[in-house]
Amino acid sequence: MIYLDNAATTKVSEAVFAAMKPYFCEQYANPSAIYTFAGKSMKAVDEARKDVAGLIGAQPNEIYFTAGGSESDNWAVKAAAETYRAKGRHIITSAIEHHAVLHTCQYLEKQGYEVTYVGVDEYGVIKLDELAAAVREDTVLITVMAANNEIGTIQPLKEIGEIAKRNGILFHTDAVQAYGHIPLDVDALGIDMLSGSGHKLYGPKGIGFLYIRKGVRIGAYVHGGAQERSRRAGTHNTPGIVGMGAAARLAAADLGENMKKQAALRDYLIQRVLDEIPYSRLNGHPADRLPGNASFCFRFIEGESLLILLDQKGICASSGSACTSGSLDPSHVLLAIGLPHETAHGSLRLTLSGETTKEEIDVTVEELKKIVGRLRSMSPLYEDFCKSQEG
């Protein structure tokens, strides 16, 4: 099997799994309990909090563990909207956010909030002038993702942070794809809130966090016990938190050389595909993109067919085609960067991990060439195109 869907989820690294193991059957105490047995668990939670914070230049007491990226996004956006309702009911976001932010914004619209969806350029970079122009007196939140999950484009967070700060508006970023993959510093970038998730960086599923800058006042989202400074109730997911901490620690060591290596392999993949498969295009920014993300569109063919045939060769990939989204429309991200529907339907996302090898990339490109050729040979769009070229 060749696994190239690491943006969907990653394998838990052996080191992370080893760190988590004692917290299931041995050190199983509820960390909030008073006895000595529980103290070790709380200590492990605190250590993990330091590691998670360290990766983004935050303080440990600014990290709130959640059940994952979607919860963090929901919390940040809904709680900010609710807490600052008296100031205003306007939110600014981008057209290419993950559904965890997009659908949360749409939910708020139904509650009487107004949302501006700022557009992006052909590479998927947010239009900063449009963003600045969208700011109103009643704007309470700017939420723009750090890097896009489909096309990998990294957003100009520093510039967005400056616009937010200049106007006294909270700035939240969904960094689920970026956290642990590119350097992020909440102070340098002017970030007030940041969502992260464990399973995108070789940690376990079901654990994430929301960074909330000290002094930022937003309400709780999950009400109940006094965990997480009374801002996020629920018994600590000790193994998950320990795993998240271990993953963050490993990622910190990996951010330099290893990510450069991954980016070089990504560029090799991109170059081979663009050189060897006609009528293909790269989606997203050619340079400012996640080290592991390669996103393509192949004209005249449809993404789901492509995925099934890749799967038969043991290659795991994903697509933003309509058929994979459960609706008739292709991905909102691909449409937002200006692709016509028929091109957007033929998208393929390959996302690498630290374990991906050049051999795996070579096999994938060879199979891809055959599969794209086969699907084109039975495509009426390709037939029409060839005839128009002849004519």
328 lies in the site for another protein, by CB under 8 A: yes
Backbone φ and ψ of 389, nearest 5°: -70, -40
Q: Examine residue 381 and tell whether it contacts another protein (CB under 8 A).
A: yes
Joined together, the tokens standing for residue 308 give 């099934």
**304 counts as binding another protein under rule CB under 8 A:** yes
Residue 97 sits in the site that holds another protein (CB under 8 A) = no
Q: Indicate which single residue of 61, 106, 235, 312 sits in contact with another protein (rule: CB under 8 A).
A: 312
User: How far apart are CB 330 and another protein at their closest, in Å?
Assistant: 7
Structure tokens given for 132: 């600045």
Q: What distance in Å separates the CA atoms of residue 278 and residue 274, rounded to the nearest whole number?
A: 7
Beta strand segments in the chain, E: 2-3, 63-66, 90-94, 114-118, 139-143, 170-174, 193-197, 208-212, 280-283, 293-298, 315-316, 347-351
Residue 391 binds to another protein (criterion: CB under 8 A): no
C-alpha–C-alpha distance, residues 245 and 20, integer Å: 10
Cβ-based nearer residue to another protein, 168 or 278: 278
Near another protein by CB under 8 A: residue from 240, 243, 291, 330: 330
Query: CB of 152 within 8 A of CB of 289?
Result: yes
What letter represents residue 257's amino acid?
E
Strand spans (E) along 57-138: 63-66, 90-94, 114-118
**CA pair distance 198, 84, nearest whole angstrom:** 29
Residue of 227, 305, 356, 364 that binds another protein (CB under 8 A): 305
- Closest distance between another protein and the C-beta of residue 6, in Å? 23
In the complex, minimum distance from the CB of residue 324 to another protein, in angstroms, rounded to a whole number: 8
Least separation in angstroms between CB 112 and another protein: 30
Q: Does 150 bind another protein (CB under 8 A)?
A: no
State in angstroms the smallest separation of the CB of 106 from another protein: 21
Give SS3 for 69: helix
Under 8 Å between Cβ of 180 and 251: yes
For the record, the structure tokens of 313 come out as 């060769």
Question: What is the chain's length?
Answer: 391
What's phi and psi for 133, nearest 5 deg?
Answer: -70, -20
Closest to another protein by CB, 41 or 347: 347
Nearer to another protein, 29 or 309 (CB): 309
What are 161's two structure tokens? 């942070």
* Region from 70-78, 96-104, 116-124, 304-312 binding another protein, contact rule CB under 8 A: 304-312
Q: Which is nearer to another protein, 112 or 326 (CB)?
A: 326
Judged by CB under 8 A, which stretch of 48-56, 162-170, 194-202, 376-384 contacts another protein? 376-384
Stretch that binds another protein, among 27-35, 240-248, 325-333, 352-360 (CB under 8 A): 325-333
The smaller minimum CB distance to another protein, of residues 47 and 342, is found at: 342
DSSP 72-83: HHHHHHHHHHHH
Of 13-21, 134-142, 154-162, 296-304, the window that binds another protein (rule: CB under 8 A) is: 296-304
Q: Is 336 in the site for another protein (CB under 8 A)?
A: no
- 297 belongs to the catalytic site: no
- Which residues partner with 92 through β-bridges? 116, 142
Q: Which of 178, 345, 348, 349 binds another protein (CB under 8 A)?
A: 345
Helices (H) and strands (E) in the chain, counts: 17, 12
Closest by CA to 290, choosing from 249, 203, 338, 350, is 350
Q: Is 66 in the site for another protein (CB under 8 A)?
A: no
Q: Is 386 in the site for another protein (CB under 8 A)?
A: no
Q: Locate 123 and state its tokens.
A: 């590479």
Q: How far apart are CA 113 and CA 90, in angstroms?
A: 6
Among 104, 300, 364, 368, binds another protein (CB under 8 A): 300
Residues that bind another protein (CB under 8 A): 300-302, 304-305, 308, 312, 321-323, 326, 328, 330, 340-342, 345, 377-383
Catalytic residues: 323
